[in-house]
Amino acid sequence: MILLGIIAIGLAAASPFLAAMVAMKVSEGIVAISQKKLDQIEADQPFTEIPIFKQNLSIQFPPDYQRVEKYDLSFNEGNLNFGNGYTLQLNDFSSIENHLNENTLIATKNYDPVNNLLMVKNSITQFPIVNDGKKHIYDKANGFETERVTAVRVTGNLLESVTMQKMKESGSFLTLYQQNNIGDVKTGIVINASPSSGLSDELGEISQSYVILTKYWLFPDGVGVFVDVNDLYLGKLVDEDDFDHLTEKKLAEIDRFTNNTYTWLSEHFEMKITD
Please report, as a single letter, which amino acid is at residue 81: N
213 within 8 A of 262, measured Cβ to Cβ:
yes
Q: Which residues, listed in sequence order, are joined to residue 79 by a DSSP beta bridge?
A: 76, 89
DSSP code of residue 238: G
- pLDDT for res 17: 56
Cβ neighbour number for residue 174 with a 10 Å cutoff: 21
22: Cβ–Cβ under 8 A, 6 or more apart, which residues? none
SS3 content of the chain, % helix, strand, coil (to 5): 30, 40, 35
pLDDT band (50, 70, 90) for residue 197: confident
Average pLDDT, the chain: 89
* Length in residues, the chain: 275
- pLDDT for res 4: 46
Q: Which residues, listed in sequence order, are joined to residue 100 by a DSSP beta bridge?
A: none
Q: Is the pTM of this model over 0.75?
A: yes
pLDDT band (50, 70, 90) for residue 11: very low
- pLDDT for res 7: 46
Distance CA(197)–CA(205), nearest Å, equals 7
Mean of pLDDT values over 118-136: 94
87-119 pLDDT per residue, tens: 999 999 999 999 999 999 999 999 999 999 999
CA distances from 231 to 47, 180, 259 (A): 18, 26, 10
144 within 8 A of 128, measured Cβ to Cβ:
yes
Distance CA(15)–CA(5), nearest Å, equals 15
220-236 pLDDT per residue, tens: 999 999 999 999 999 99
160-184 pLDDT per residue, tens: 999 999 999 999 999 999 999 999 9
Distance CA(65)–CA(63), nearest Å, equals 6
